[in-house]
Amino acid sequence: MSMRIGCGWDSHAFQPGVKLKIGGIAIDHPEGLAGHSDGDVLLHAITDALLGALAVGDIGSFFPPGDPRWKDADSAIFLNLALEEVRTAGYRIVNVDTTLILAAPKIGPIAGDMRQRVAELLDIQANAVGIKAKTPEGLNMDHVAQAQAVVLLENLEGDDDIALLEAEIDDPKAVEKILTEIDSEARSSRQSRRMIPLPAFDTEDIT
């Protein structure tokens, strides 16, 4: 089964007079995040991670910041496009892990709501979404919010093969036996590769 990993990163400065929105939810805070769209740093990072996993570009190549159509736009629009790219390519999201780096507001009390909202936007279970928050201690970035995101995608072809196997074989136990044998062969192959001695390398070549 084909797997792909993507990582995304985004950063926005806080600005007075702007509504704060992170992870698709509105947050009560004196300042919001400046940006051409709604400044949702978390959704931007996830969008970039999804697009990066497919190697099709980044959020800026699809939604140029100078385009007036995206002025104050809901970042869920960007995320939806990335999801369409994922589905068109024949993949689905396995899980998403994210980290927010900001001094305030506190994310802990709202992390559950944020996690649920992100899961809804991605059309996956909440237990497949990780949201963590860190403070930028010693980095002199108290007026900036950053977000990092990592996504894992899997190709849907394997599911189609299993569905076809189940359709052709009426006995569930027979299907289970075949899948177990396939898994066993894959494990054996991986073990054999691990037993092959790796070539030595010269530490002087490391730069």
Question: What pLDDT does residue 139 have?
Answer: 83
Using 50, 70 and 90 to split pLDDT, how confident is the model at 166?
low
- Summarised one tens digit per residue, pLDDT across range 30-70 is 999 998 899 999 999 999 999 999 999 999 889 988 888 88
Higher pLDDT, residue 156 or 14: 14
Using 50, 70 and 90 to split pLDDT, how confident is the model at 185?
low
Question: What pLDDT does residue 189 have?
Answer: 45
Q: What pTM was computed for the model?
A: 0.76
67 Cβ contact partners less than 8 Å away, ≥ 6 residues apart: none
Question: What pLDDT does residue 175 have?
Answer: 55
- Summarised one tens digit per residue, pLDDT across range 79-117 is 999 999 999 999 999 999 999 999 999 999 999 999 999
